[in-house]
Amino acid sequence: MIIVAKSGITESELERLRDQLASFGFATHVAPQSQRVVVGCVGDDVGERTDAIRQLPNVESVTPWPRPFLLASRAFSAAERTSVITIGQSCSVGDAGLLIVAGPCSVEGETMLHDVAVAARAAGATALRGGVFKPRTSPYAFQGLGVAGLELLAEVRHRSGLPVVSEVMDTRQVDLMLRYVDVLQVGARNMQNFSLLAEVGRTHKPVLLKRGPSATIREFLLAAEHILAQGNGDVILCERGIRTFETATRNTLDVGAVPVLKEETHLPVIVDPSHAGGRASLVVPLALAAVAAGADGLIVEVHPSPETAKSDGEQSLRPSQFRDLMRSVASVARAVGREVARPPSRRRQWREARCHAR
Ligand code: PEP
Ligand code: MN
């Protein structure tokens, strides 16, 4: 429910009111950017306590709140615009520029990672992706390079100036990953791993939260709320396809989720056309549909030789295909009043690395 406090309520009176609500077992959040002091109050059976809450000192009005989440809600935060999240030193998502994250499904070695970073950056990517802890369906499939892969990511990030995104699969990996990456990715399979959500919520790193293959939009937003409720406001949502009866694609890209999320939440929303389509030939049309639907960015798998990739080669673009994709993305972005963000400024190391590669 939403509680409007009496005007002139002092800090200590507000604190007392929140303590009283907490003693009923409810969580409270004070709405930002509001003219009046507005307290959102959530918890089991909150509706049954309406009369008792109305009687509390300094309560002016109480109205039901139709959603189970507060902090993720656009209405509660009275946010007219999407929240802008800073990534690394000079990259952001949620503003007019689209965030374009490109890179291999898995980090497989230094040369391939470096080659992808060079090509992706030259084509206009603004961040680099690469998994080192891989959630594989089979325990016998390549599980990722682990710490060695993180070191490669940090090295290529240093040389390219591109911030890096990598998946954290377990609460025990969080501290380690914080030292190497700019964005913690929580994968689709872990969208409802509530201990992991709480753990990344206690950090100050942006979190890229992927929608679970069978999660409703409401469950997706509640997963984001778990992170936000711990104090980390930098959550980027990622639609990556859901499981439906359709088998012609790896997953069904829920393009409709993009405008629905944009209505419901102030959090930036990006789309992963690679895991949705499951085949390289579908990545471009799905990516363009996502941008046309209002996505704030894309995360795309790119590999220098997809046929030899240790994971997700079928859906990985070659660097030349990624370059073509970026050209089409730029046109669609312009048509919907967006632009492709400029890559972070070049560093001397980057120039050196390129000269070396020639
Ligand atoms: C990935 O990004 O490589 C990945 C495993 O994604 P998802 O969690 O969406 O399946
Ligand atoms: Mn993958």
> Domain spans of the chain?
2-66, 85-357
Ion ligand 2 residues within 5 Å by Cβ: 105, 312
What's the pLDDT at 261? 98
What's the pLDDT at 101? 98
Angle made by CA atoms 210, 241, 182, in degrees to the nearest 5: 25
**How far apart are alpha carbons 103 and 286 in whole angstroms?**
17
Chain centroid, CA 290 distance in Å: 15
- Which ligand has an atom closest to residue 133 CA? 1
What's the pLDDT at 126? 96
Which single residue is written with the structure tokens 């993720």? 72
Contacts of 245 (CB under 8 A, 6+ apart): none
Buried b (16+ CB within 10 A) or exposed e, 258-282: beebbebbbbbbbbbbbbbbbebeb
- Which ligand has an atom closest to residue 241 CA? 1
Q: Which atom of ligand 1 is nearest to the CA of 187?
A: 8
What's the pLDDT at 90? 83
What's the pLDDT at 334? 97
Measuring CA to CA, how many Å separate 5 from each of 22, 27, 50, 229? 16, 16, 14, 22
Q: Which atom of ligand 1 is nearest to the CA of 189?
A: 8
Record the tokens describing residue 258, joined without a space: 């993009």
Among 170, 196, 211, 272, the mutation site with the greatest number of ligand 1 atoms within 8 A of its Cβ is: 272
Give me ligand 1 centre to Cα 188, in Å: 6
Q: 187 in ligand 1 pocket by Cβ < 6 Å?
A: yes
pLDDT along the chain (358 residues), means of 10: 94 96 95 88 90 95 93 90 93 96 98 97 97 97 97 96 97 98 98 98 98 98 98 98 98 98 98 98 98 98 98 98 98 96 61 44
β-bridge mates for residue 239, sequence order? 271
Give me ligand 2 centre to Cα 57, in Å: 54
CATH match of 2-66 with 3.10.105.10 = no
What's the pLDDT at 313? 98
Three-state secondary structure along the chain? CEEEECCCCCHHHHHHHHHHHHHCCCEEEECCCCCCCEEEEECCCHHHHHHHHHCCCCEEEEECCCCCCCCCECCCCCCCCCCCEEECCCEEECCCEEEEEEECCECCCHHHHHHHHHHHHHHCCCEEECECCCCCCCCCCCCCCCHHHHHHHHHHHHHHCCCEEEECCCHHHHHHHHCCCCEEEECHHHCCCHHHHHHHHCCCCCEEEECCCCCCHHHHHHHHHHHHHCCCCCEEEEECCECCCCCCCCCECCCCHHHHHHHHECCCEEECHHHHHCCHHHHHHHHHHHHHCCCCEEEEEECCCHHHCCCCCCCCECHHHHHHHHHHHHHHHHHCCCEECCCCCCCHHHHHHHHHHC
Q: 211 in ligand 1 pocket by Cβ < 6 Å?
A: no
First to last CA, the chain: 62
**How far apart are alpha carbons 295 and 15 in whole angstroms?**
39
What's the pLDDT at 347? 55
Class of the CATH-defined domain 85-357: alpha beta
**How far apart are alpha carbons 231 and 204 in whole angstroms?**
8
Give me ligand 2 centre to Cα 131, in Å: 8
What's the pLDDT at 193? 98
